[in-house]
Structures are given as C-alpha cells and as structure tokens.
Amino acid sequence: MSGIIRKLWLAVVLAFWALPGLAQDLSGLARVEIGQSQITDRWGGGIEIELALSQGVPFRAYTLTEPARLVLDFREVDWRGVTKPVLLNADNASDLRFGSFRPGWSRMVVDLTGPYAIESAGMKIAPQSGEARLDVSLAPTDAADFAARSGAPYDPRWDLPAPVARAVTKGLPGQGPLVVVLDPGHGGIDPGAERDRYREKDLMLTFARELKETLVRSGGFSVILTRDDDRFVSLERRVALAHEAGAHVFLSLHADILAEGQAKGATLHLLSDQASDAASAKLAERHDRDDLLSGVDLTGQDDVVADILMDLARQETQPRTERLAQAMIKGITGAGVRMNHRPLRRAGFSVLKAADIPSILLEVGFLSNPKDLENLSNKQWRINMASGIRDALRAWATEDAALAKLVRQ
C-alpha cells in the first residue's frame, strides 16, 4: 500500500480520559450512540459511515477482497441496542456485522456491493464532553485499484506479538531468584497521560528499564518487562505474561493525570471490588479500558467451580499482597521519596486480577502535579525510587518465605 493509504487505514485516535466532565458508563467501554450513527450512500456514489461514541477509542480502517468489504477495528465498544436495520441504510453496502472478535477488541465488517476505496477516515472528540464521532468515507474505484489498496495491515504498535510458550516451574520466594514482572503502563497506540512534551508511556518505560537494572545489578532478582519498547500490549496479555514467567510479584507502573483530590506523590493500588475513594475509581476507569477475565486458566471449568477456585487462590494471595504493599510504603519512604498522604488505595484494576500472583499498581507520580512531573523527569529521583522498591521487594521476600515455612509446618 502507498504511504497515503497507510495513513488512511491507521487512523488512530485516543480518548482524552483526563478531560473534565468526561462521562463513562459503568463498564468503562465506549458506547455506540443509537440514532446518531448510520451507514448511508454518498451523493454521487460511495459510502459514508458515521459512528457516534460516548468516548474516543483507538481504531483502524482497511478493506479486504473476496468478497469486497470494509473492516473497522476498535478498542472494545459497547454495542448494546445496536441492530443492523437501525445502522445500515445504504444500497452500496449489502450486509453488516459487528461485535467482539478477541478480548478487549471489537470489529465492524461492512460488505460492499463493489470496489470502494477508503477516501478518508478520522475521529473528532468534543473537548468538553469527550464524546467522539468517527467518519469513514469510501469512493468508487476499479477492481485493480481496490485490490492494490486492500489487505489486513500490520503495525507493531497495534498487533500483538504471538504468545511464547515457556516451561515454568514456579518456586516460592526464597527458592532461587525473586521473579518480578514490571509492567510499564500503556505503549504503542496508547500514550497514556500527556503533559507538555511528556508522555506516560515513555516515562514509565524509562523507569521500568532503570528499575530492572537496579534489581538485576543488586542480585537475587529475575526481572521481566511486559514491554521493552514502544508497543501496545493488552491488559489480558500483560497478566498472561506474568503467569508465563512464573512471577512472584507483578508491579504495574503508571504516572497518570488526575484532577480529583490530592493527586500528588507515589500511590499504591490494590485490587478491590469497590474503590476506596472517588480518585481511585476514576483511575480504574482510565486504566481499565476493556472488561477482562482474570488471568487464570479456567478452561473446562463451569462458572461455579471457576469462582471457587478464584476465591481460594485469592484467600492466600490477598494477605501476601497486603504485606507487599506495606513493605513498598516502608521501602519507598525509607529511600527518601515522599508518597501521597494516603499511600495505599483500592479499586477494580483489571491488570491486577491475577488471582495467584501478588499484584500492585504503582502510580509513581502524577503528571498533573508540577512537582511530581519534575521528579519523574529527574534521574536521581528515579534512582532513589528504584532503590526503595528494591529494598521493599527484598524485605517482603524474606518475610514471605519465613511465613510460608510456618504455614507448611
């Protein structure tokens, strides 16, 4: 495909979750607004797709041949109430399908009556409400041009790498190196929070690499990053990587923007069905942009058995995670790093749903706070933070191993 066509099919727009007044439904998914969305014929030939969404989402558009069709991929959206008769009103389109096609992602397929090429594709987001409008225009073309322009695109920022099978025997802390999975938030098409020239995805990747170096150089740690470059990794895949690595600890790293409350200083978040405060609820909405199943292989189990297995696993993991959080607070403050006045909070973060791995989400700081932003861009401050986390992990591993021996006795 030509450079122009590549730009057309990879029309990526990200929702501005930090905008004031942004309304999200309880699921956190973008909702298709019925009555404001339609597929119609264009005057003079062609097709126009208009989708009104409750919030912006990353998307891409491309065409495929045999049969001729338009494909729209989205970060998962809520299709409830949407039907083909309501949406499709075009003689140049013969059929329409939509729904989820893999965890966290949705797809719309429009069957075309002939060769139509993408002429434009873009999304506009209202700055105050955060509501979005996706417009895709197709124009008539000949069969040869349509075939040349068509094809499923590949872009490493969008497509996920194939899972790598690993033979892992997970030992207890104290038996060999402590296996730590560091999860730099966002990446690729998802920049996370942005302020001035800084992007959350870049800051957290830099910090994750520095933290990994600190841990490895100290000895006694085996460290895996869920991403080591600027690529998108789904929440589900991040949790799966932790299981594949046989992780003892999963630490998700973020630096968000949040206007509510005293959003300053490092803050630890644990998994909970109910958020401990409004700020944590808002952060959970911003982080969890798709509705994920927990990261445990429950293939072949019915819902009742699955729930029991999950509860049993969490009964053991929850107190270990609580102790890990307390060790983190002690280690970070002991390194001279100031934390939030309420350093430990709770919310329903999907990335923390590995039932058998102590998992914590660490807001290293908030880009919305000038002092935090200054700290995050200061290498010495990041070194101090990394040292505090290292000390915390060491202290927790020692305590956890000792308690495990008591349990076995």
pLDDT tens, residue by residue, 22-48: 333 334 678 899 889 999 999 888 999
Q: Residues 295-309: pLDDT tens digits?
A: 333 333 334 443 434
pLDDT score of 192: 81
The pLDDT confidence band at residue 312, using thresholds 50, 70 and 90, is very low
pLDDT averaged over every residue in the chain: 78
Instruction: Give the residue with greater pLDDT, 8 vs 94.
Output: 94
- What's the mean pLDDT in 6-16? 35
The pLDDT confidence band at residue 102, using thresholds 50, 70 and 90, is low
With the C-alpha atoms ordered 213, 197, 231, 200, is the resulting torsion angle positive or negative?
positive
Q: Are 264 and 369 in contact (CB under 8 A)?
A: yes
Instruction: Give the residue with greater pLDDT, 161 vs 395.
Output: 395
- What's the mean pLDDT in 365-377? 92
Highest mean pLDDT of the ranges 60-74, 154-168, 322-336: 322-336
pLDDT over 90 (residue 226): yes
Highest mean pLDDT of the ranges 116-120, 253-257, 405-409: 116-120
Separation in Å, CA 202 to CA 171, 192, 350: 33, 9, 22
As to burial, measured by CB atoms within 10 angstroms (0-12 exposed, 13-18 middle, 19+ buried), residue 406 is exposed
Lowest mean pLDDT among 120-124, 168-172, 258-262: 168-172
pLDDT score of 305: 40
pLDDT over 70 (residue 352): no
pLDDT over 50 (residue 349): yes
The pLDDT confidence band at residue 155, using thresholds 50, 70 and 90, is low
Q: Which residues contact 41 (CB under 8 A, 6 or more apart)?
A: 47, 48, 90, 91, 92
The pLDDT confidence band at residue 241, using thresholds 50, 70 and 90, is confident
- What is the identity of the amino acid at 203? L
Instruction: Give the residue with greater pLDDT, 315 vs 376.
Output: 376
pLDDT score of 8: 38
Percent of the chain clearing pLDDT 90 (strictly above): 38
Neighbours of 18 (CB within 10 A): 19
The pLDDT confidence band at residue 225, using thresholds 50, 70 and 90, is very high
d(CA 102, CA 71): 15
d(CA 387, CA 390): 5
Q: Residues 51-85: pLDDT tens digits?
A: 999 888 888 899 998 889 999 988 878 888 888 89
Highest mean pLDDT of the ranges 160-174, 196-210, 313-327: 196-210
pLDDT over 70 (residue 326): yes
pLDDT score of 308: 39
pLDDT over 90 (residue 207): yes
pLDDT over 80 (residue 321): yes
pLDDT over 60 (residue 163): no
d(CA 180, CA 190): 24
pLDDT score of 244: 85
pLDDT over 70 (residue 50): yes
Q: Which two tokens stand for residue 380?
A: 């010495």
d(CA 326, CA 347): 17
